[in-house]
Each structure stands twice: as structure tokens, then as C-alpha cells.
Amino acid sequence: MPPRTCALCNDARAILKRPKTGQTICKDCFFYVFETEVHNTITEAQLFKRGDRVAIGASGGKDSTVLAHVMKTLNERYDYGLELFLLSIDEGITGYRDDSLETVKRNQEQYDMPLKILSYDELYGWTMDAIVSQVGKKNNCTFCGVFRRQALDRGAAILNVDHIVTGHNADDIAETVLMNIMRGDIARLGRCTSICTQGEDTIKRSKPFKYAYEKEIVMYAYFKKLDYFSTECIYSPDAYRGHARAFLKDLEAARPSAIIDIIHSGEAFEIKEDVKATQKLQQTCIRCGYMSSNELCKACTLLEGLERGMAQAAVTDRARKKLDAVGPTPDNLRQIPMFKPPSSVQSSTHTTAAVGT
């Protein structure tokens, strides 16, 4: 096949066919288009304000490394006026997380941003390795996800930031939509396509890569020669998400726009009134003060299960009742420290204009 010229600049050699649009474009146009689309996502959703302190959830993997690079680039190019930080969570997975943390430390130097690392061990007293040895390889992702979510908020509170950004990409969100449909999780289905989530007592959390294809993120990192860590979590092969991911990859191969289309479908969902009425209201955990749908937040429930040697019991609501039936919670169990949101969340609403307006 003859070499093609870029469809945008009509000058340089095309190196990529964009899955989103089918355009064949050159390296420099690709960088520009990719970065500008993220910039548009940020400004259209009015994610940031001048002076915001923003923590980038950094794992050392491809998405968070590219996110740190792009946030830094856009902050400078369009003068967002943001203060950027790297926040990393150490789940205690030997051979996976300890290696990727080395990458984050290198990222800190490469992008010149302050770095904070928080570990499950210091926060909960349990590493993922210890949890898996008690819980087994099914449902362990539940523990990790719940604990990580809280850990990110707590790390952000320590750094006193206004906003957390994570590297979730279009593929991730499409997978989540599929998973929630497959599991009948209506509450999550209604929330999972929001670009920015915020509770009353929690820090704003956004996904600037919501519309960025995983393939493009990898190509961006490859052509920019960005340093990232790339191994599957050793516990993930049995994860339920694997089914959704395999399905999505096959859909993408047949019709590349499927990913964005699934997100669009997810955004268009509206929950029936009578179903909405059955959803639980948000409250605060009586034990640690974090946001919760029940008296005790999920993290405290899971931790209690681990501490009492009945970890599997804490994973579902039905099993929780069994746990309670065994007896009341003993007094001397390890607990998660009280959660105090950063001052930015406690103060009254901001009135300054959003970045990009």
C-alpha cells in the first residue's frame, strides 16, 4: 500500500488510524488532536477553577502516566493555573505494586510534581497479599476497589487538594457500563458515566480521559516515549471485569465506535421513578465518618469481616446479616481512623469562574 498522507495537515506521513473517527493522521497532528480533545473535555465539563490544587491518581501505569503528562502540558499551554500533585496508593501486592511505584517515583522527577504515597498497610493494617490469603481469589477486587477509593480520598485530604483526577479511559467506562448492566446494579449504572462525581463530604473526582480510547493512550505513550509500567495485576485474571473487557475488545474489532457509543447509551439512561425510590440515601459511616449508603461504610464492613476472620461474610448485604447474627462487633478490633475532608470541601461554594470560560 502506498504511504498515506495525514488527513489533517496533508503534509506528513500518516502513522495512525483513529478508532474514533477513522481518520488517518500523522504523529504531530495525533498529539495535537489527542491533547486538544482532553482540553475540550475539561473545559466543556468546567472541571477546574484557577488556583485549584489537583491530585493525579498515579499508579505508574499507562493511563496515569499519560494523564500526568497531558495535565502538565495542558496546564502550561492553556494556563489553567492549577497546582498539580501525584498521589499513589500502595495496596501491598508484591511483584506488581512495588515495581510500579518505582515508575511513579521516576514520574515525579520527570514531571516535577510533589508525590504522596499512602499504603493499605498504614491505613487499614492489611496488605492485598494478606487479604487474598484470607479471602481467596474471588471477590478480592471488591476489597481492593473499596479500600483504594477511600485511600485516595484520605490521601487527597492529607495533601489538602480540591480535586482528584484519575486515568480512567473510554474503554474502562464502557466496560463498567456493561458490567453494571450484567449485574443489575442500577445505582451504579446511573452514576458510572458521570465525568465528575462528588458527594457532600467527599472530594471532587474527575476522569479527563473519559472519551479517550485506550488504544490512543498507548500510542501516545509509545510515540512520546513515556515511561510506564505494564503488567497485569497478579490477582486480576479471575476478575469479573475480564468478561466485559473481552467482549468489548471483540465489539471494538468489529466496529471501533462501539466504545464511545456504549458510553453515550450509558449517559442517556434514566432510572424509572419507582426504581429510584428504592435506592438508598447517602449518610455518613458511624465508625469512620466516610460517606456510606448504610450505617457502616463498605470499607469498615469489609475490615470488620477481615479482622473477625469472616472476610467473605462482609462482601454482600445478605452475608452481612449472617455476620451480625454471629454476634455484636467486639470492642478491640482495628478501625479505620476518622475521616476529615479537606477544608475546600467544608467551605461554602466557590464563585470564581471555571477554567476555560
Partner 1 sequence: MSGTISLKIEFGGGLELLFSNQRSHRVTIPALVPAASSSSTSSSSTAQTAQDEAGAEKKKPADLAYLIFWLRDNLLKEREELFIENGTVRPGILVLVNDADWELEGEGEYQLKDGDEIVFISTLHGG
* 171, 259 Cβ separation under 8 angstroms: yes
| Of residues 20, 22, 163, the one with CA closest to residue 83 | 163
Burial (CB < 10 A; 0-12, 13-18, 19+), residue 231, is exposed
Q: What's the CA gap between 294 and 174, in Å, rounded?
A: 28
Which of the ranges 126-134, 219-227, 320-328, 338-346 carries the binding residues for partner 1, by CB under 8 A?
219-227
Subset of 42-101 contacting partner 1 (CB under 8 A)? 59, 61-64
Binds partner 1 by CB under 8 A, chosen from 5, 8, 12, 17: 17
* Other Cβ atoms within 10 Å of 316 Cβ, number: 12
Determine, following the binding rule CB under 8 A, whether residue 41 of this chain makes contact with partner 1: no
Binds partner 1 by CB under 8 A, chosen from 112, 184, 225, 253: 253
Which of the ranges 16-24, 44-52, 319-327, 332-340 carries the binding residues for partner 1, by CB under 8 A?
16-24
C-alpha cell, 85: 500533585
Binds partner 1 by CB under 8 A, chosen from 162, 252, 304, 307: 252
Q: Tell me the DSSP string of 88-127.
A: EEE---TTTHHHHHHHHHHHHHHHT--EEEEEHHHHHS--
Which of the ranges 32-40, 225-233, 293-301, 303-311 carries the binding residues for partner 1, by CB under 8 A?
225-233
Binds partner 1 by CB under 8 A, chosen from 91, 214, 304, 307: 214
| Of residues 61, 73, 82, the one with CA closest to residue 164 | 82
| Of residues 40, 35, 39, the one with CA closest to residue 219 | 35
Subset of 148-207 contacting partner 1 (CB under 8 A)? 167-169, 172
The distance of closest approach from Cβ of residue 115 to partner 1 in the complex, given in angstroms and rounded to an integer, is: 18
The distance of closest approach from Cβ of residue 28 to partner 1 in the complex, given in angstroms and rounded to an integer, is: 13
Which of the ranges 83-91, 151-159, 200-208, 244-252 carries the binding residues for partner 1, by CB under 8 A?
244-252
Nearer to partner 1, 100 or 292 (CB): 100
The distance of closest approach from Cβ of residue 289 to partner 1 in the complex, given in angstroms and rounded to an integer, is: 30
* Residue listed under C-alpha cell 466516610: 290
Binds partner 1 by CB under 8 A, chosen from 76, 98, 250, 324: 250
C-alpha cell, 149: 477509593
Q: What's the CA gap between 251 and 15, in Å, rounded?
A: 23
Binds partner 1 by CB under 8 A, chosen from 98, 99, 200, 232: 232
Mask of contacts with partner 1, 291-310, x by CB under 8 A? --------------------
C-alpha cell, 5: 498522507
Nearer to partner 1, 254 or 281 (CB): 254
Binds partner 1 by CB under 8 A, chosen from 134, 236, 294, 344: 236
The distance of closest approach from Cβ of residue 189 to partner 1 in the complex, given in angstroms and rounded to an integer, is: 22
Determine, following the binding rule CB under 8 A, whether residue 231 of this chain makes contact with partner 1: yes
The distance of closest approach from Cβ of residue 332 to partner 1 in the complex, given in angstroms and rounded to an integer, is: 36
Site size toward partner 1 (CB under 8 A) is: 35
Query: What are the C-alpha distances in Å from 163 to residues 72, 101, 156, 176, 204?
Result: 15, 22, 8, 22, 5
Q: Running DSSP on this structure, what letter comes out for residue 284?
A: E
Residues 6 or more apart whose CB falls under 8 angstroms from that of 6 comprise 12, 13, 14, 24, 25, 26, 29
Binding residues (CB under 8 A) for partner 1: these are 1, 4, 13-17, 24, 59, 61-64, 167-169, 172, 214-215, 217-219, 222-223, 230-233, 236, 245-246, 249-250, 252-253
